[in-house]
Structure 1
Amino acid sequence: MSYFITLEGGEGSGKTTALAKLAERLTADGFEVVTTREPGGIEIAEKIREVILDRTHTAMDARTEALLYAAARRQHLVERVLPALQAGKIVLCDRFVDSSLAYQGHARGLGLDNVLAINEFAIEGHMPELTLYFDVNPKTGLARIDLDQGREFNRLDEESLAFHYKVREGYLLLLGRYPERMQLINAENELDEVVADAYEALQRFLAEKQ
């Protein structure tokens, strides 16, 4: 029983913390779970992540950024995600293609279909079966980041508030485009409530599959 499930959301949405808690619950339910993240998850992709998110790389072109994400995604997919799925495990991944569509496709203005084409080449049809989108007002998300001293602060965190609103707008467009795959989780709530809502969505998905 293998399923590819992704968590998406803007900066400070809490999805990364929620992912760890969801993995604990699924493991307690008897599932074999692999957790990972993008960009990163494996050595090559982590090195690409360092290049993308380096705060000094302010001159990075939007298309370069999109191509680097797709390259990291490809390596991560073949080295981490697919082997876990082939071993019958549930893969919980922090970000995947939808991040590129929202950030580079919409917020950077490259176009959803253009960025999707790059990523279709990279992933060869391996899309997640379920995507939980953690929706939060960018002002709320960025305020949370300011309070979290232990969190990685990267180049995207330094973008304007208008950029982050465009990211959220992009995600909401994707919800309308992929309603059969994507589910909205209200990330404005307290973390325990957010995790409970996400876990309920996972349970519904697994029940339908079984």
Structure 2
Amino acid sequence: MNTQKIETCMWMNFGLNSTECASWVQAWGSIAAILVAVAVFVAGHLIQRRSRIREEEATYTRQLEHAYQLIKGAARICRHVPEFIGPLGLRGADGQAMLAELHAYCDAFKKVDVSSMRTTNLFHAVLSGDALTRFITAQVEWFVKLDPTSLDDVVFGTYHVMAELLRQLESHAETVAIALRERCVEPESMQLIKKFVAATAAVGVLDHF
């Protein structure tokens, strides 16, 4: 009885001899290696991209956090300015302390990248918050230098001016607060306030929280 030896390639009968099978196995192995290398490269690229996006989002959130605390801080000072102006005149030491704090806020505003704001409302809120803080600083500088005997003439007008500035600052702060809440960050959280104080300590913003 004649028997015919059947050669298989990878346990399948493809009609290939051993030499042809080895060539095909090598070819498919090379293709598989290329596919694996491509998959590893793509996966690494995706991981880097996601990491970069997370970092960009974290940086943007920090910008919003700092802007919010700066605007709220300026509003707090604005609220107390009229308390330093009255029949007894401007209390020099308190006025100088307030002025120093305002200058620190103005310096801290320089660290906020206004151009990174992603909406027109946020751009306007941060830019206006900076401008209003500088305006309040100029007003306090004027009050510090003002002759106490002439304060009676400016007290009434000061209340109205500061009230309007306060209204605008609170409105801008709320605009930033809405953006923070959309990012699941509570603007008035103590954790956020501590982060802000730590980040601005280098420019001398006083801790009044």
Higher fraction of strand:
1
Query: TM-score w.r.t. structure 2 length?
Result: 0.28
Higher-Rg member (1/2) = 2
Query: TM-score w.r.t. structure 1 length?
Result: 0.28
Higher fraction of helix:
2
Higher relative contact order (CA 8 A, sep 6+): 1
